[in-house]
Amino acid sequence: MIRRLSVLLAGCALLAAPAAAREGFSLQLGLGGGFFELNSGALDSALTEIGRVGERRLLSSPLADGLAVRFALAYNIKGYASLELGMTGHGYNLDDSGALGGSGHVSLVAHLHPFQFVWPERDWDASVFLGGGWSILGGGQPGSQDDRGLDGGQLECGLTGRYFLTRWFSLGAEVRFSVPFWDRWHVDWEDGEEYDLPGSPTSFFTAVLLSIGFHFVPG
């Protein structure tokens, strides 16, 4: 009886604990939209230099906005800062097998949580972040001669907001901006045919996401 009462009291204490950004690990899942901008003229110029004239349209013509999903792991440091490792995926023309494509963006970013300095007791959080990683863009079907793609490093930044329903669960929204630095042109995914680019064509990727977070707070 005493043991059951102790477990009940511990559970009540956990639920009554203030819901806020605290030190510990978290897992975050996001869903929303992805929006891509690619400078066709700059890509044409880069491909002309490496002898791949006329191939740009195979990538840029079907390129479109589409669904975006995200998976991330993060560690919060006393509510003031956090490190996040994650991947954002973006798919376009998902209902058209002839023009199917997508992009992936893997990054490690550092968050600053400015409100922790002036308002430590709250059930919401906001942060700004900056970091970098790797991006890939492309499409095509198995056996197709028209699949083309790009990959290279990327710089990522953005804003996030989160509301804690409990100390271990939250709802959030975020806007992520990625600036890829493409350095390879892929011609055949299966055979690994690729070419180094003389310069990166200008492009910009934006993801607008709603997310859920699971927080594992020690103690």
- Is 16 a domain residue? no
Kindly give, in sequence order, each residue whose CB lies less than 8 Å from that of residue 202, ignoring residues fewer than 6 positions away: 38, 39, 42
Q: What is the pTM of this model?
A: 0.86
Q: What is the CATH number of the domain that holds 36?
A: 2.40.160.20
Give me the number of domains the chain comprises. 1
Domain annotation covers residue 146: yes
- CA torsion 71→77→81→86, rounded to 10°? -10
In a domain, 18, yes or no: no
Evaluate whether residue 15 is within a structural domain. Answer: no
Neighbours of 214 (CB within 10 A): 12
Q: φ and ψ at 40, to 5 degrees?
A: -65, -40
Residue 206 lies in a domain: yes
The string of pLDDT tens digits covering residues 188-198 is 777 778 999 99
Instruction: Identify the helix (H) or strand (E) that includes residue 60.
Output: helix 56-60
pLDDT in tens, 164-173: 999 899 999 9
**pLDDT digit string, tens, across residues 60-105:** 888 889 999 999 999 999 999 999 999 999 998 777 555 778 999 9
Q: Are 187 and 1 in contact (CB under 8 A)?
A: no
Domain residues for the domain of 130 are 24-216
pLDDT the model gives residue 208: 98
